[in-house]
Amino acid sequence: MSEFDFDLFVIGAGSGGVRASRMASQYGAKVAVAEDTYLGGTCVNVGCVPKKLFVYGSHVPEEVEAAAGFGWRVSEPQFDWPTLRDNKTREIQRLNGVYRNILASAGVELIEGRARLLDAHTVEVAGKQYSAERILIATGGWPKIPEIPGREHIISSNEAFYLQEFPRRVLVLGGGYIAVEFAGIFNGLGAETELLYRGPLFLRGFDEEVRRFVAGQVAEKGVKLTFETNLVSVEKLDSGELKATLTDGTERIVDCVMAATGRAPKIEGLGLENTAVTTGRNGAVEVNEDFQTSEPSIYALGDVIGRMELTPVALAEGMALAKSLYLGEPTSVDYENIATAVFCQPNIATVGLTEEQVLERGIRARVYTADFKHMKHTLSGLAERTFMKILVDDASDKVIGCHMVGQDAGEIIQGIAIAIKAGATKSDFDQTIGIHPTAAEEFVTMREPSRVIG
């Protein structure tokens, strides 16, 4: 008979926590999960899933505009925000139920409420204490709002999914995934949208050539881009409008200010001070390669550890931990060549190294690029263009980076990520016969490098 109530107690029912708890239970462990907000975590509720649904919705006006070139006479579209918002909410509620069933069918006990660590083996939820041989922190992250006057009038992406009224004028603050994606969503749905970023160009960390191309495309679609400028304050006027004051002294009168200036690990009130768990930069829980904290019985994974804050990464980490602890198969996560996408408009997808990383590592590489109008837009009349880029190690001929901006970029790069993970060479790409006519075939028909670097 175990001296503990549970073999594993998981705090947080997001992607990583659910995967770890479900698999650990299937491997024979007695598992509980505590959750105080919503099942499925950020991705399902206020992240990837509802955001992608909004992206789909925001593309409709362009499709209507494009219809004329294909012979369709379509009346002026009328957008009803409550319909999109509420249909999205119903889908999220359905997914919450799916997660509840997943945990139940796996034999995991769900405890609803905010969990707090009392010591290395004890968790308290709603006044009741539970003991566990091991504890897993998988609480994810939470949006940060700038500490400026009038911050109470600023929303985060969390609130953007549930706005009572759709704004006519929006100021989006930030330069990462979320800011660029929501600028496209608001703009596509009909709002006059401005993206404000303190740096010289958004999407820091992505390939520079990709960033410049996307900036041109986003601006072409109607989003006003204001770089090297920040927000100083927000004031609510008697009219209900918001007056935003910027660092250059100018002002904006808008209906909504949304900040997407980063996320912080959700550790407030978790009781870490009652354990030996340590935190590092930005409050991220520090762990070793096995996701073990400085308190040997406590582990952490997902966004709360501040590595690659992506849902599939959290899933992989949860699987690796469950296998290592309860299946007797020490498993690690390979963070190299993880593909990712930004669902801005047009989409970005990327895998492997950027040109800047290639130069930093001193690799001599061939660079292949293609910039063209998608076949669809030869008739649609839309100005959108597609950009593709391949980076090839000149010594080994291995493809070490692949980037795309354009329609269905994520769908295309997912397949290419497998090839790069398997070590494909440029010769392998060249010998692959393309599917015609597609944009994707361009990746196997680029024969002449545009330049050699390194």
Indicate which residues carry an active-site annotation. 436
Tell me the pairing of strands 31-35 and 6-11.
parallel
Residue 240 CA: distances (Å) to CA of 159, 188, 453: 18, 24, 54
Token pair in block for residue 116: 């707090």
Token pair in block for residue 140: 């994810």
CB atoms within 10 A of CB 222: 14
d(CA 190, CA 160): 15
CB atoms within 10 A of CB 76: 6
d(CA 322, CA 307): 19
Host H or E run for residue 215: helix 208-220
Task: Cite the beta strand spans of 145-267 per DSSP E.
Answer: 154-155, 169-173, 192-197, 224-227, 231-236, 242-246, 251-254, 256-259, 263-265
Q: Are residues 445 and 369 in contact, defined by beta-carbon separation less than 8 angstroms? A: no
CB atoms within 10 A of CB 199: 12
Residue the block writes with tokens 């970023």: 197
Tell me the pairing of strands 340-342 and 348-352.
antiparallel
**Starting at the edge strand that comes first in sequence, how are the strands of the sheet with 399-405 ordered?**
340-342, 348-352, 399-405, 386-393, 365-372, 451-453
